[in-house]
């Protein structure tokens, strides 16, 4: 596959630290189009610019929109690697079907990202903790107001140099257990990285923030009891005798970092299980001193330890230090991402700079 590149004649100044998250964008973007007649066509890397979009495009009216999130890292020898892009290609392809959108073929997804990251490789930051965040996005772009799946789509990828989510590694967060609003219901879109899921989750987090909370813990839609996710992360509970993460049953986004943590914990001989877990079980285990840690997993923060989990008027506190399981996972994963430990699981895709 040949992906033509049009170089940006007016490159931007690189941003100074601190980079923050999702604030700056590189000089180029990748774009490809789909029509029912032609299938996927015209993939190209072009200067970063606003997308021409008809105001009647499906994305604006019926939320035919989904995205992915992954990262590229710079190693000490200046080699650039992308963390598990095949995983994101597959998750997007699966989710597209649920949203009645055409799958982006894996080759187009991977080649598009690789070409773009190679063109903007100077934007991959050096400092440990920082990385180049990759945001592939798929939208319905047909101009038509009838309620049906669009006949035209745009797939684009943009890049944003980002700092580590927490400057000094993982910082414990304060979480509110949300009993009123829900993130997803069975049969809905919860397991898909649909844009619509994010707007539906905004208000609970927005209401929790002035009360001093960083995010909310989501419970199931029917019983308001089974734990699903924490903010925009998957969640793990470290009990004295086992480590538990909620089983995937349609309402939880199957996270890439969730998979990595399950794999690492198993390889370390830890008793880890994917099963249903209720907030009542968690509260009881905390009272009994059986619950040692709670943490979230996701691309942006890698691992986010929960320092405090507040369920109604019960504030559960957890300590976090170098011996915490969450810290060990954070260290292992980031050491692999930054090339400080061998990549024995084939998680890194090395960027080849050969011109297509
Ligand atoms: C709702 C939600 N859950 C979980 C995750 C974690 O997924 P991943 O580990 O693939 O980043 C994300 C993405 O960051 C998310 O948006």
pLDDT tens for residues 342-354? 999 999 999 976 4
- Alpha-carbon gap, residue 138 to 103, rounded angstroms: 9
| Nearest residue by C-alpha to atom 1 in ligand 1 | 232
Longest distance between any two alpha carbons in the chain, whole Å: 64
Smallest CA-to-CA distance from 221 within 258, 189, 176 is with 189
State whether residue 218 is helix, strand or coil: strand
| Nearest residue by C-alpha to atom 2 in ligand 1 | 232
Strand partners, 133: 71, 160
Q: What is the pLDDT of residue 352?
A: 74
| Nearest residue by C-alpha to atom 4 in ligand 1 | 233
Burial of 211 (0-12, 13-18, 19+ CB in 10 A): exposed
Q: What is the pLDDT of residue 166?
A: 65
For residue 234, the CA-to-ligand 1 centroid distance in Å is: 6
Helices 85-98 and 256-267 pack at an angle, to 10 degrees, of 130
> How many other CB atoms sit within 10 Å of the CB of residue 353?
10
| Tokens (6 digits) for 171 | 């910082």
- Alpha-carbon gap, residue 346 to 352, rounded angstroms: 16
> Half-sphere exposure (CA, 13 Å, Cβ side) for 232?
16
Q: What is the pLDDT of residue 168?
A: 55
Q: What is the pLDDT of residue 16?
A: 83
For residue 54, the CA-to-ligand 1 centroid distance in Å is: 30
Question: What stretch(es) of the chain map to CATH 3.20.10.10?
Answer: 173-337
| Tokens (6 digits) for 80 | 């650039």
- Alpha-carbon gap, residue 49 to 28, rounded angstroms: 8
Q: What is the pLDDT of residue 354?
A: 47
Give the number of residues written for the chain.
356
Atom of ligand 1 nearest to the CA of 252: 3
Ligand 1 pocket list (CB less than 6 A) = 69, 229, 232-234, 253, 255-258, 297-300
Question: What stretch(es) of the chain map to CATH 3.30.470.10?
Answer: 28-164
Alpha-carbon distance values, 175 to 53, 198, 263, 294 (Å): 38, 18, 26, 10
Identify whether the C-beta of residue 159 lies closer than 8 Å to the C-beta of residue 26. Answer: yes
Smallest CA-to-CA distance from 282 within 272, 292, 273 is with 292
> How many other CB atoms sit within 10 Å of the CB of residue 354?
6
Strand partners, 235: 296
- Alpha-carbon gap, residue 159 to 25, rounded angstroms: 6
Atom of ligand 1 nearest to the CA of 257: 9
CA-CA-CA-CA torsion sign (346, 348, 353, 356): positive
Strand partners, 291: 239
Residue 103: cis peptide before it, omega within 30 degrees of 0 = no
3-state SS of 76-113 is CCCCEEEECHHHHHHHHHHHHHHCCCCCCCHHHHHHHH
Which CATH superfamily hosts domain 173-337? D-amino Acid Aminotransferase, subunit A, domain 2 (3.20.10.10)
CATH fold group of domain 28-164: D-amino Acid Aminotransferase; Chain A, domain 1 (3.30.470)
Q: What is the pLDDT of residue 42?
A: 98
| Tokens (6 digits) for 317 | 């506190």
pLDDT in tens, 103-155: 999 999 999 999 999 999 999 998 888 999 999 999 999 999 999 999 999 99
Atom of ligand 1 nearest to the CA of 253: 3
Q: What is the DSSP letter of 223?
A: T
For residue 163, the CA-to-ligand 1 centroid distance in Å is: 18
- Alpha-carbon gap, residue 154 to 203, rounded angstroms: 29
Q: What are phi and psi of 237, to 5 degrees?
A: -120, 125
Q: What is the pLDDT of residue 167?
A: 55
Q: What is the pLDDT of residue 1?
A: 87
| Local mean pLDDT, 10-residue blocks, the chain (356 residues) | 96 89 96 98 98 98 98 96 98 98 98 98 93 98 97 98 74 95 97 97 96 97 98 97 97 98 98 98 98 97 96 95 95 97 97 59
For residue 215, the CA-to-ligand 1 centroid distance in Å is: 14
Atom of ligand 1 nearest to the CA of 91: 10
């Amino acid at each position: 596959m040949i992906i033509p590149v049009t170089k940006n004649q007016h490159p931007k100044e690189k941003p100074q630290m601190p980079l923050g998250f999702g604030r700056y964008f590189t000089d180029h973007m990748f774009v490809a189009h789909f029509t029912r007649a032609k299938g996927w066509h015209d993939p190209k890397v072009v200067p970063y610019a606003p997308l021409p979009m008809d105001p009647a495009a499906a994305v604006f009216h019926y939320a035919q929109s989904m995205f992915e999130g992954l990262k590229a890292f710079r190693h000490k020898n200046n080699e650039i690697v992308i963390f598990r892009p095949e995983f994101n290609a597959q998750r997007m392809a699966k989710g597209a079907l649920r949203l009645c959108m055409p799958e982006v073929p894996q080759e187009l997804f991977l080649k598009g990202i690789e070409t773009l990251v190679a063109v903007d490789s100077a934007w991959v930051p050096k400092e440990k903790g920082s990385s180049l965040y990759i945001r592939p996005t798929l939208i319905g772009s047909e101009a038509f107001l009838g309620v049906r799946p669009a006949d035209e789509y745009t797939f684009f990828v943009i890049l944003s140099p980002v700092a580590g989510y927490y400057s000094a590694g993982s910082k414990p967060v304060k979480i509110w257990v949300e009993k009123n609003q829900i993130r997803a219901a069975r049969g809905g879109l919860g397991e898909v990285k649909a844009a619509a899921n994010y707007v539906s989750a905004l208000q609970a987090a927005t209401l929790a923030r002035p009360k001093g909370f960083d995010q909310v813990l989501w419970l199931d839609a029917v019983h308001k009891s089974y734990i699903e996710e924490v903010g925009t992360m998957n969640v793990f509970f470290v009990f004295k005798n086992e480590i538990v993460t909620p089983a995937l049953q349609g309402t939880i986004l199957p996270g890439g970092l969730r998979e990595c943590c399950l794999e690492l914990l198993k390889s370390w001989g830890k008793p880890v299980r994917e099963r249903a877990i209720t907030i009542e079980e968690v509260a009881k285990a905390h009272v009994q001193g059986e619950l040692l840690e709670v943490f979230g997993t996701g691309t942006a923060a890698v691992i986010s330890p929960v320092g405090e989990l507040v369920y109604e008027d019960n504030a559960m506190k957890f300590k976090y230090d170098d011996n915490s399981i969450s810290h060990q996972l954070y260290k292992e994963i980031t050491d692999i991402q930054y090339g400080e430990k061998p990549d024995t699981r084939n998680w890194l895709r090395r960027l080849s700079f050969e011109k297509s």
